[in-house]
Amino acid sequence: MAQTLSATARRDKAARDKAYAMTPARKAKKAHAEREKRARPEESKGQDYDHKRQAYVSVKSNRGNEGKGTKSESGNNYNTD
């Protein structure tokens, strides 16, 4: 469900989201998830890589942190080797 934002708020949010996505930690997680996906293409089909569990899980489970939300996970560093 898309947020209803004014043009200014939408622009500001896009800038914040882009800045967050380009942090070294996020870049490392994206690169690690892509390496895992290429290594195990069948297992990764339709799944998200969960860096906390080091396994592929459903998108719903990963994005919602098993129903607990993502605020408690903020600032954690997970292995991306």
Blockwise average pLDDT, block size 10, the chain, 81 residues? 90 96 92 92 91 88 76 72 72
Structural domain includes residue 50:
yes
Which ranges of 1-81 does DSSP label H, i.e. alpha helix?
7-21, 24-39, 41-44, 59-64
Quote the pLDDT of residue 24: 92
Q: How many domains, in total, are found in the chain?
A: 1
Structural domain includes residue 7:
no
Quote the pLDDT of residue 74: 67
Distances (CA, A) of 10 to 4, 35, 42: 9, 32, 37
Structural domain includes residue 38:
yes
Structural domain includes residue 25:
yes
**Both tokens assigned to 43:** 């297992």
Structural domain includes residue 41:
yes
Quote the pLDDT of residue 35: 93
